[in-house]
């Protein structure tokens, strides 16, 4: 049965995000699924400024600002405090960018997951430190131009492959790990709903295209997000208690089409594109193998 998107809006208009901001849509959909009994913790990032200055607010749920490195610690404390006060039914959500997750916040995230707190950690992945001017992060993909990997004569684009935090979370044994993106809101909301059923740590990495930092026109956010999935660059999956499911098969869209939708990749040679394709193909192969192994393991148990 097709899932209907909840009508309730817990994010109001009038915020200060840029036109076409994928991170803003990500928050909107996540809150639609979580509902009113939710507390959000946000570190230094675009989302720390999107609500605007006091007395403005954009969210109709409580929001806590936390130091850049501390989202994992913050949600651990919020969870324990709410539980002590008998508010076990409240959702506690860390909502952090890729810099705050893949880099400076990684140890706090890993600690929170390891301690097994009943929390959500949403990584909105716009693939660079956008709020401070598009610096590269560990989650920036190979080949991307950023302000710290400027493409001048020496072609100084990012030379390392993307660090994929969702895969790290799987390796750590987190019970619920998923990826999502804004072009597929039903898929995202279904995943948040499924995550709610797990009592323990939950991690969702949401690809959130950024027109300013990826250099594309702001009405193309959904198109770019969809191309990321269809080209196989950003696979959508759900991993629940050791069982992998790839939730959207990539359609035959060339990676070149995805890359050419953003100016941050405009300098790339065919050889560079091959590097990205090889990395994406190998990862997709790994995920499908995990899915196959999950299916055969459950067949053995049945
Ligand atoms: C310890 C510390 N170092 C640096 C900063 C400056 N700073 C604020 S936001 C930000 C970028 C955040 O990037 P990311 O986590 O990717 O989120 P985005 O801005 O893309 O939403 C930085 C470096 C800070 N606030 N605290």
Locate 259 and state its tokens: 């890359």
Among 43, 132, 137, which is best to mutate for testing ligand 1, by the most ligand atoms less than 8 A from CB? Answer: 132
**pLDDT above 60: residue 9:** yes
Give the number of other Cβ atoms within 10 Å of residue 195's Cβ: 25
Whether 90 contacts 46, CB under 8 Å? no
Atom of ligand 1 nearest to the CA of 105: 15
Query: Ligand 1 centre from 120 Cα, in Å?
Result: 20
Atom of ligand 1 nearest to the CA of 23: 21
Q: What is the pTM of this model?
A: 0.97
Report domain extents, the chain.
22-301
Of 12-26, 105-119, 285-299, give the lowest mean pLDDT range. 285-299
The string of pLDDT tens digits covering residues 31-88 is 999 999 999 999 999 999 999 988 888 999 999 999 999 999 999 999 999 999 999 9
Locate 120 and state its tokens: 């959500």
The torsion angles phi and psi of 132, rounded to 5 degrees, stand at -105, 10
The string of pLDDT tens digits covering residues 169-212 is 999 999 999 999 999 999 999 999 999 999 999 999 999 999 99
Rounded distance between C-alpha atoms, residue 3 and residue 172, angstroms: 31
Nearest CA to ligand 1 atom 25: 44
Side-chain half-sphere exposure of 193, counting CA atoms within 13 A: 13
The string of pLDDT tens digits covering residues 233-261 is 999 999 999 999 999 987 878 999 999 99
Query: Ligand 1 centre from 148 Cα, in Å?
Result: 14
Residue 39's beta-bridge partner residues? 92
Nearest CA to ligand 1 atom 2: 68
Query: Ligand 1 centre from 115 Cα, in Å?
Result: 25
> Residues near ligand 1 with C-beta < 6 Å?
23, 44-47, 68, 97-100, 126, 129-132, 137
Helix (H) or strand (E) holding 160: none
Its CATH architecture, for the domain 22-301, is 3-Layer(aba) Sandwich (3.40)
Nearest CA to ligand 1 atom 9: 45
Give the model's pLDDT for residue 261: 98
Rounded distance between C-alpha atoms, residue 67 and residue 83, angstroms: 23
Query: Ligand 1 centre from 128 Cα, in Å?
Result: 10
3-class DSSP state for residue 250?
coil
Sequence-ordered strand ranges (E) for the chain: 38-43, 63-66, 91-97, 120-125, 176-181, 202-207, 236-240, 243-248
Give the model's pLDDT for residue 126: 98
Rounded distance between C-alpha atoms, residue 50 and residue 44, angstroms: 11
């Amino acid at each position: 049965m097709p899932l209907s998107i909840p009508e309730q809006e817990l994010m109001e208009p009038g915020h200060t995000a840029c036109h076409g901001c994928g991170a803003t849509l990500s928050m909107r959909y996540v809150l639609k699924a979580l509902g009113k009994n939710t507390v959000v913790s946000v570190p230094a990032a675009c989302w720390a400024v999107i609500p605007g200055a006091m007395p403005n607010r954009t969210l109709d749920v409580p929001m806590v600002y936390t130091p850049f490195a501390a989202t994992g610690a913050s949600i651990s404390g919020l969870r324990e405090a709410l539980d002590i006060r008998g508010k076990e039914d409240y959702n506690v959500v860390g909502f952090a960018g890729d810099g705050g997750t893949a880099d400076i916040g990684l140890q706090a995230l890993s600690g929170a997951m390891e301690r097994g707190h009943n929390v959500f950690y949403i990584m909105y992945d716009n693939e660079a430190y956008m709020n401070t001017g598009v610096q590269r992060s560990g989650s920036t993909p190979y080949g991307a131009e950023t302000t710290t990997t400027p493409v001048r004569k020496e072609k100084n684009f990012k030379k390392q492959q993307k660090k994929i935090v969702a895969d790290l979370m799987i390796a750590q044994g987190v019970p619920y790990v998923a990826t999502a993106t804004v072009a597929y809101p039903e898929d995202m909301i279904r995943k948040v709903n499924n995550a709610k059923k797990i009592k323990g740590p939950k991690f969702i990495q949401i690809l959130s295209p950024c027109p300013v930092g990826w250099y594309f026109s702001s009405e193309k956010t959904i198109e770019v997000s969809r191309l990321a999935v269809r080209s196989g660059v950003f696979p959508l999956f759900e991993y629940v208690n050791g069982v992998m499911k790839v939730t959207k098969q990539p359609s035959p869209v060339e990676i070149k089409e995805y890359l050419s939708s953003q100016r941050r990749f405009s300098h790339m040679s065919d050889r560079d594109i091959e590097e990205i394709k090889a990395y994406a193909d190998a990862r997709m192969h790994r995920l499908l193998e995990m899915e196959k192994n999950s299916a055969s393991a459950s067949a053995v148990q049945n």
